[in-house]
Chains A and B, each alone.
Chain A
Amino acid sequence: MAVCIAVIAKENYPLYIRCSANVEDELKFHFTVHTSLDVVEEKISSTGKTSTAGAPDMREFYLGQLYPSEDYRIYGYVTNTKVKFVMVVEASNTQIRDNDVRSMFRRLHNAYTSVVCNPFYILGSNISSKAFEKVVAGMIVDEQKKELFT
């Protein structure tokens, strides 16, 4: 379960950002996501030059711990169309595994594709589709819900 999910367009402006219920941290997440874009760019351009590696470059990759001092892990995913998905997860959340993150990104990608195929969606504008919101809501950890289980 992520704390923040962002979809960033090819031209590096956000198409969609959604954080979990803590409102005061929201700006910090915006900033975190924005700075992680630099690392994303670096990874995209560097893999173009490395000709070693037998396996073809898959589209997903991990940024690992961008800010070791803060307690967040940031994951990134790039599609062929240069749309980036960024996910922020609490470092204290040790249950989340690599495969979980990969499958979450896959679902995000499928949801995003559905949004683009919708003829009412204007390319490059903010995503306001309810179906997409539902998919994202299923992935964001909700503070109120957490309390129900403890």
Chain B
Amino acid sequence: MTDNASGVLFDLLHSQLVAYIYSTIDNKNKGVSQLESLGFRVGVSLGEQLTKDLPRFRDELEVMKFICRDFWSSLYQKQVDNLRTNHQGVYVLQDNAFKLLTHISVGKQYLDCAPRYLALSCGLIRGVLSNLGVKSVVTSEVISMPSAKFQIMVQRT
């Protein structure tokens, strides 16, 4: 019961946050990057909190599995539906019913507004990964609501 309540709270707060950012900024193109950097800071703190009680991660794949299972379920009350990788540092997370998009539409309506609703989540993922020692670039893609794809490109030096 409490899980559901916090999920609803986050969903509503998030949609209002996106609306607020877009109503107060001067340059509409900066909205996505602002949301993404917001998500980054929150992701770092969230990563610290959530990994406190888990055993140590052995490699990158375990970090990704943590993101797909524990991280996703604590934020969106469900796990990522599909994780694909090319074993060379590119991971694709697919969520067929992304929580923050389900209330917007099903299909193609409002598709052009979808990126701003995914920006915060991209930042969240980047923040958690950076805290766990994985530098990455996270992008998102929506082909049909509410299914979303997040692509993580790990920057290896």
Q: Identify the A interface with B (CB < 8 A).
A: 10, 47-48, 56-59, 78-82, 109-110, 112-113, 116-117, 119, 123
Contacts and interface: CB of A to CB of B under 8 A. Distances in A.
Contact of A59 (B41, B56, B131): B56
Contacts, number: 46
Contacts of B133: 10, 81-82
Contacts of B49: 113, 117
Given A48-B58, A58-B56, A59-B55, A80 B45 contact: no
B75 to A, nearest CB: 15
A11 to B, nearest CB: 10
Give the contact-size bracket for chain B: 10 to 19
B52 interface: yes
12 contacts: A56-B56, A57-B55, A57-B56, A78-B56, A80-B52, A80-B132, A81-B48, A116-B44, A116-B48, A117-B48, A117-B49, A119-B41
Interface of B: 41, 44-45, 47-49, 51-52, 54-59, 131-133
Given A10-B133, A81-B133, A82-B133, A56 B55 contact: yes
